[in-house]
């Protein structure tokens, strides 16, 4: 069992690799994937990178509270110009939206938006993504010590795609208040 702590030794970090420009996180009602967004944000800020929020599902204060529990102060990063919060359709203060070493992370609620009308967007996002992370419920049903399973498809960045085949990782997760545990099926004690 490995706990996500922002370092490089856990299953999710290993599956994600070093860099991804476009990340698609898919989830469903039975296995919410918002915790993956929290972990990605913490990882970006802990490594000295920048982050930008577009169209949040929760108010900024919610993300600030969650990341504080994980040891990351979003308000401090925001004051130091390493974190930007943009209101949907009203980008206050900045005319352009360009950050070096910044990834686009999209969370899609697959069971809600997987109808025929939205399927084209979902397929396109999967196609352009360097990394697709899918949170799903266990196929065996609910369990007290396992909250679901993650599938991570790492296609590599566009320049790497020709040189190597994509990698697929499958493991279980248990969400916690200050992070998540990741482990291979059958290895949880």
| 39-50: pLDDT as tens digits | 888 888 887 777
Q: What is the pTM of this model?
A: 0.77
Q: Name the pLDDT band for 98 (thresholds 50, 70, 90).
A: very low
DSSP string, 120-182: HHHHHHHHH-SEEEEEE--TT---SS--EEEEEEE---HHHHTTS--EEEEEEEEEETTEEEE
Mean pLDDT of all residues in 147-162: 78
**Beta strand ranges found along 28-77 (DSSP E):** 51-54
* Residue ranges per structural domain of the chain: 2-183
Encode pLDDT of 77-97 as tens digits. Answer: 777 766 666 544 343 443 334
Q: What is the mean pLDDT of residues 170-183?
A: 88
Containing H/E element for 13?
A: helix 11-16
Q: What is the mean pLDDT of residues 117-143?
A: 85
Candidates 176, 177, 154, 182; CA nearest to 166 is 154
pLDDT of residue 161: 55
The conformational region for residue 71 under phi > 0 = left, psi -120 to 50 = alpha, else beta, is left
Q: What band does 148 get if pLDDT is binned at 50, 70 and 90? A: very high
pLDDT for residue 5:
40
| Tokens encoding 32 | 């919410």
Q: Tokens for 77, please give them.
A: 């990063």
Superfamily (CATH) of domain 2-183? P-loop containing nucleotide triphosphate hydrolases (3.40.50.300)
């Amino acid at each position: 069992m490995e706990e996500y702590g922002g370092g490089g030794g856990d299953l999710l970090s290993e599956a994600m690799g070093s860099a991804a420009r476009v990340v698609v996180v898919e989830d469903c009602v039975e296995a919410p994937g918002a915790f993956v967004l929290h972990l990605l944000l913490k990882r970006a800020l802990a490594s000295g990178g920048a982050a930008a929020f577009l169209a949040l599902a929760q108010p900024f204060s919610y993300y600030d509270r969650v990341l504080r529990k994980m040891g990351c102060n979003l308000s401090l990063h925001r004051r130091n110009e390493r974190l930007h919060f943009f209101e949907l359709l009203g980008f206050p203060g900045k005319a352009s939206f360009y950050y070096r070493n910044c990834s686009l992370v999209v969370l899609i609620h697959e069971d809600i938006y997987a109808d025929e009308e939205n399927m084209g967007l979902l397929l396109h996002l999967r196609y352009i993504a360097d990394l697709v992370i899918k949170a799903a419920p266990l196929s065996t049903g609910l369990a007290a010590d396992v909250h679901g399973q993650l599938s991570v498809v790492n296609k590599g960045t566009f320049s790497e795609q020709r040189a190597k085949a994509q990698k697929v990782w499958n493991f279980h997760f248990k969400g916690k208040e200050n992070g998540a545990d990741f482990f291979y099926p059958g290895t949880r004690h």
